[in-house]
């Protein structure tokens, strides 16, 4: 005898896909205005800092020029920013102002499906923007400014995907506490922005003071950046790579669990 859930609800992958598909349709209606700024921002940063500051940094970093070192880090941060904005401001607007979730929950999906679907949607955006930045870097490499380590760098969008899922889970957990949209400024300015500068994107973690280096190991971006550098030719031990993968998986599961648990109460209240 079938349970009520199997009668009332379609298969799980259909439910998650329906959430993803809804967001994709809305997002692509204004693909230029939605997609162009997040895609352009890391390239402007690369040009401004890499070409400008890079002229004063003559020392190679792990056998790479400074602009190449910076470019690899920006493949990860593109997914961090888009997932963070999507699952904070975006989720809050859909929840509190547009009341989108009220209509979605009237369909045969659960609150859990909706929130997990949000995480997968943010992961897809992270994959897209990492791929887009990688594509531009490959084109730019034809002019000799950046050498993209192919074919290993083609795995960059996959790391962008899991990195975006990490920050989607974190963003949703923060959203579950937020009562007004202005409170997200504390999250963006107090956590995301510092993480950008102290996770091995702009300079090596080894250059930090020894008492601060353990703090860098706590924040999630460090592990995604280190994995990205590893596949792009940076020398790192297998043990460190396994630690980074374990951190990412545990972070998504644990933070995602509490995000789902808290937001579910808010959705059905």
Encode pLDDT of 141-190 as tens digits.
Answer: 776 667 777 787 888 999 999 999 999 999 999 999 999 999 999 999 99
Mean pLDDT of 128-135: 91
pTM: 0.92
* pLDDT of residue 207 exceeding 60: yes
24-28, 54-58, 157-161: range with lowest mean pLDDT: 54-58
Mean pLDDT of 17-43: 90
Mean pLDDT of 96-116: 93
**Higher pLDDT, residue 268 or 236:** 268
pLDDT of residue 145: 66
DSSP per-residue codes, the chain: ---HHHHHS--HHHHHHHHHHHHHHHHHTTHHHHHHHHHHHHHHHIIIIIITGGGG--S-BTTB-HHHHHHHHHHHHHHHHHHHHIIIIIHHIIIIIS-HHHHHTTSS--HHHHHHHHHHHHHHHHHHHHHHHHHHHHHHGGGTS----TTGGGGHHHHHHHHHHHHHHHHHHHHHH-SSGGGHHHHIIIIIHHHHHSSSSSS-GGGS-TTTHHHHHHSHHHHHHHHHHHHTT----HHHHHHHHHHHHHHHHHHHHHHHHHHHHHHH-
* pLDDT of residue 6 exceeding 70: no
Quote the domain boundaries for residue 134. Answer: 4-268
pLDDT of residue 86: 96
pLDDT of residue 5: 47
Domain count, the chain: 1
Select the highest-mean-pLDDT range: 5-9, 82-86, 132-136, 201-205: 82-86
* pLDDT of residue 2 exceeding 50: no
């Amino acid at each position: 005898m079938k349970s009520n859930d199997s009668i009332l609800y379609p298969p799980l992958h259909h439910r998650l896909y329906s959430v993803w598909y809804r967001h994709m349709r809305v997002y692509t209606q204004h693909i230029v205005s939605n997609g162009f700024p997040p895609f352009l921002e890391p390239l402007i940063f690369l040009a401004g800092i890499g070409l400008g500051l890079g002229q004063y940094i003559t020392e190679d970093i792990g056998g790479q020029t400074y602009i190449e070192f910076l470019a690899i880090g920006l493949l990860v941060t593109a997914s961090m920013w888009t997932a963070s904005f999507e699952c904070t401001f975006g989720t809050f607007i859909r929840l509190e102002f547009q009341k989108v979730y009220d209509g979605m929950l009237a369909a045969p999906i659960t609150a859990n499906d909706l929130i997990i679907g949000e995480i997968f949607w943010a992961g897809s955006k992270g994959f897209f923007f990492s791929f887009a930045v990688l594509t531009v870097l490959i084109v730019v490499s034809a002019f000799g400014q950046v050498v993209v380590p192919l074919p290993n760098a083609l795995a960059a969008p996959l790391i962008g995907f899991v990195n975006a899922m990490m920050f989607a889970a974190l963003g949703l957990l923060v959203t579950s506490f937020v009562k007004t949209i202005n409170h997200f400024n504390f999250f963006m300015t107090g956590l995301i922005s510092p993480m950008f500068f102290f996770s091995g994107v702009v300079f090596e973690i080894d250059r930090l003071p020894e008492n601060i280096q353990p703090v860098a190991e706590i924040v999630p971006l460090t592990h995604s950046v280190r994995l990205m550098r590893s596949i792009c030719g940076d020398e790192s031990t297998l043990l460190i790579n396994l630690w980074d993968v374990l951190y990412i998986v545990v972070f998504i599961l644990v933070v995602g669990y509490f995000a789902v648990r808290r937001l579910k109460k808010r959705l059905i209240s």
